[in-house]
Structure 1
Amino acid sequence: MTAMIAIFDSGYGGLTVLKPIMELLPEYDYLYLGDNARAPYGNHSKENIKKFSEEAVEYLFKQGATLIIFACNTASAVALRSIQEKYLKGKNEKDRKILGVLIPVAEEVVKVTKTKKVAIVGTKATINSKSYDEEIKKLDPSIKITSASCPLLVPFIEEGWHKKPEAISVLKKYLRSLKTHNPDTLILGCTHYPLMGKNFKRIMGKQTKVLSSGKIVAKSLKDYLARHPEIESKLSKKGKRKFLTTDDPDKFKKFTQKNFGMKIQATPIQLSREVCL
């Protein structure tokens, strides 16, 4: 079976990670899964986020993925650790790997901040988890962190409304309090947010560097594969790409072409629709 690199996200956001990865490492085979039908994950309970993430992981392993990247910040923050403990035990530990995005971004933040004032935006679940705060503080306890959840942005983006005045107006309100702290670095703690990246930069001003995870994770993955030849050597390198969505494949195809310039075919799949009450 083909050993693919899989990118998992709650919807379209992970494409902001997949694209720079494919540009930096074009030779590998990639499998993308967007759980658009249940986006955004950030508005769900921890139990459901873990359940959704487990379903995605099981599906991707069955499809031949051997290395899965949780592009979704919410899944990385809430579910990654427990899923790694569950699925990477015993004989599976050598053959399977599951990586997140938080640690590479935290490492980059510590490198680039000069004033040690950092702001984070993300979904409710990501912000409430304090996962970014913890990873950054491990590396540099002196960094001061402020954060804001932006629950309406992912729905705007998933519907393709992120360039509308209403979305930009909401974004301004979310960033208003963060600006008063004068951060020199802003983490876009959701893979969807780079699709509004220009507006984040314009609203925050030139004094604030806006970091998104795409290029950071791509470089981190390249370094990871170089350090782990036992994993890299097993990955298939035919340049194949496959896209899966739990929602409308035509909508997925159009969104991807319009916003990322990629002409693709998307295959509809169904993960369990049950939720924890």
Structure 2
Amino acid sequence: MLGIFDSGFGGLTVLKDIHRRLPSLSTVYLGDNARAPYGTRPQDEIFAFTLEGVRALFGMGCPLVILACNTASTNALRRIQQEILPTEFPDRRVLGVIRPTVERIGAAERVGVFATPATVASGAYERELGGPVPQIDCPGLVDMIEQGRDRTQDADEMVAGFCEEMMALDPRLETALLGCTHYPLVEGLFKKHLPEDVRILGQGPIVADALADYLDRHPDISARIRTDGERTYLTTANSVDDSLASRFYGKPISFTPTS
């Protein structure tokens, strides 16, 4: 099976595009809803929680895990790849969402990033893009989305403030990257409060295309992922709101607690 890990429901916006692009893949999604959100946690804690999730998915037989979470990708991916996999899991792989996203952005584009405080603080997008990038951290937005409050006036006003900050940083902005997989649920608010000519870039289709390319180039990994279309949704929480999860995914789904 292909493993997908996220701090909560956000990775479902990526998973739905993976299923559209590669519908026969057998997948297991693990959301750490019990400890969500990750965006304001310290880096060592994010690393520990992410590694725990990756190990759990490896234990379920996944040869490849996608960190469908920008905060986990920016604060844990490199350490897992460099410090953990070579000694503990040399035949397994972990991929994130940052690199494929950056590869899709044109070199000459004026891009700004909306992300969690932890993602912005990591400096990952500036490293990958090779220089300073306007970034707005969005404290509280993930919490609001996970609580199902993304259609409220409070959410509208919050996103309006973030967009105003971004345009003050770069009035000539061309592309706004939603650098958190939760943010597609409020993409309409970003469109509402940014100039009409600013392109909104989400990560789901980008990651799905990158995964398809990766599997084509790594048949040894691809051969170990079943293609019977089985889909499993797990959560570390005792219970979650399946109706909210279904909004992230776009279709009715149901989660099972891991314990």
What TM-score, normalized to structure 2?
0.95
In the TM superposition, what are the counterparts of 1:67-78 in structure 2 within 5 Å?
A: 67-78=64-75
Query: Is the 2:114–2:177 contact (alpha carbons within 8 Å) kept by the matching residues of 1?
Result: yes
Partner residue in 2 for 1:215 = 205
Say yes or no: does 1:125 pair with 2:118. Answer: yes
Query: Is the 1:8–1:14 contact (alpha carbons within 8 Å) kept by the matching residues of 2?
Result: yes
Partner residue in 2 for 1:11 = 8
Say yes or no: does 1:44 pair with 2:47. Answer: no
Structure 1 segments unaligned to the other structure (5+ residues): 271-277
- The separation in 1 between residues aligned to 2:179 and 2:240, in whole angstroms, is 28
Identity, % of aligned positions: 40
Paired residue secondary structure (1:6)? strand
Query: Please, which moves more after superposition, 257-266 or 180-189?
Result: 257-266
Letter in 1 for 2:33: N
Partner residue in 2 for 1:225 = 215
- The separation in 2 between residues aligned to 1:133 and 1:263, in whole angstroms, is 37
Paired residue secondary structure (1:110)? coil
Paired residue secondary structure (1:249)? coil
Task: Provide the alpha-carbon RMSD of the alignment.
Answer: 1.5
Instruction: Identify the match of residue 193 of structure 2 among 192, 203, 228.
Output: 203
Deviation at 1:248, TM superposition (A): 4.4
Deviation at 1:233, TM superposition (A): 1.4
Query: Is the 1:187–1:211 contact (alpha carbons within 8 Å) kept by the matching residues of 2?
Result: yes
- The separation in 1 between residues aligned to 2:246 and 2:94, in whole angstroms, is 28
Instruction: Identify the match of residue 184 of structure 2 among 176, 194, 212.
Output: 194
Partner residue in 2 for 1:273 = none
Deviation at 1:87, TM superposition (A): 3.0
Partner residue in 2 for 1:167 = 155
Deviation string for 1:113-159 (max 9, x for gaps)?
x5x3210010101001110111011xxx5xx6201100111000000
Aligned length: 257
- The separation in 1 between residues aligned to 2:104 and 2:174, in whole angstroms, is 13
Say yes or no: does 1:177 pair with 2:170. Answer: no
Partner residue in 2 for 1:274 = none
Distance 1:259 1:85, change over 3 A: closer
Partner residue in 1 for 2:254 = 265
- The separation in 2 between residues aligned to 1:208 and 1:248, in whole angstroms, is 41
Deviation string for 1:194-233 (max 9, x for gaps)?
1101111121122111111100000000011111111111
Say yes or no: does 1:106 pair with 2:102. Answer: yes
Query: Is the 2:10–2:248 contact (alpha carbons within 8 Å) kept by the matching residues of 1?
Result: no
- The separation in 2 between residues aligned to 1:260 and 1:65, in whole angstroms, is 21
- The separation in 1 between residues aligned to 2:224 and 2:247, in whole angstroms, is 34
Letter in 1 for 2:100: P
Paired residue secondary structure (1:89)? helix
Paired residue secondary structure (2:55)? helix
Query: Is the 2:13–2:184 contact (alpha carbons within 8 Å) kept by the matching residues of 1?
Result: yes
Deviation at 1:264, TM superposition (A): 2.3
Letter in 2 for 1:6: G
